[in-house]
Amino acid sequence: MVAEGSRTLKRAEVEALVREVLTARLRGEQPPASRERHAAAPRTPGGPPNPLVVNVSARHMHVTPEHLEVLFGKGAKLTKLKDLYQQGEFASEQRVTIVGPRQRIIPDVRILGPTRNYTQIELSYTDGVYLGLDLPLRISGNHEDTPGCTIMGPKGALTIDKGVIRAERHVHMSNDDMAYYGVKDGDYLKLKIDGPCGLLFDRVKVRFHPKVVLEVHIDTDEGNACDLESATHMELIK
């Protein structure tokens, strides 16, 4: 499924792009940044079994152990920068540069750990427009009819021919949460965000795992559209 090496980019082009990334990094620049934001609704007596946490997923990458070695060198492992809200998941110290079809780049895209059995890049639509990618809306791991891209790491580059997506809004739920909200895996809920940029997100997909903690994931476009930072109240609605 994956074509490694410089299939779509000539060596001189890659060198030029690397120079550009290094120059940008030396200047301390980076493209369309994103605020990581997090808002937890207070728990009320007789209310939901777990507090509602809404997190904005900034653009990121998931990677197979094999691709990690292509990008970061033989024997490379992900090292932890900080824990994420879901136990065992973490933001790694490893970052890559994404190259789109118009050879525009987004540097400093963080890899989330641990490694997975697929490589995937999750971007916002704003990122997609910038790179020239018409991103499909997908749940993680569903790569049917998704575009690829070139990924550059400090020790090598690779081109994937699929796996670049906009993540579909979703909520991680355990059995307790699904029982409380009266839903099952794959159902949709609505997420109400009150505040100066308030809105009601339709189609927040329920994703079940017995060991997850209740958490909604939206992307930076969605987080900025509702200005999650300034939210005064948040609620999941059937």
Binding site for its own copies (CB under 8 A): 29, 31-35, 104, 124-127, 129-130, 137, 169, 194, 196-203, 220-222, 224-227
Q: Least CB distance from residue 171 to its own copies, whole Å?
A: 15
Quick one: 1 or 16, whose CB is closer to its own copies? 16
Quick one: 23 or 87, whose CB is closer to its own copies? 23
Q: Least CB distance from residue 103 to its own copies, whole Å?
A: 9
Q: Least CB distance from residue 74 to its own copies, whole Å?
A: 34
The CA distance from 143 to 151, in Å, is: 17
3-state SS, 160-192, equals ECCCEEEECCEEEECHHHHHHHCCCCCCEEEEE
Quick one: 112 or 135, whose CB is closer to its own copies? 135
Quick one: 71 or 105, whose CB is closer to its own copies? 105
Quick one: 1 or 237, whose CB is closer to its own copies? 237
Q: Least CB distance from residue 144 to its own copies, whole Å?
A: 15
Quick one: 60 or 169, whose CB is closer to its own copies? 169
Q: Least CB distance from residue 68 to its own copies, whole Å?
A: 28
Q: Least CB distance from residue 26 to its own copies, whole Å?
A: 13
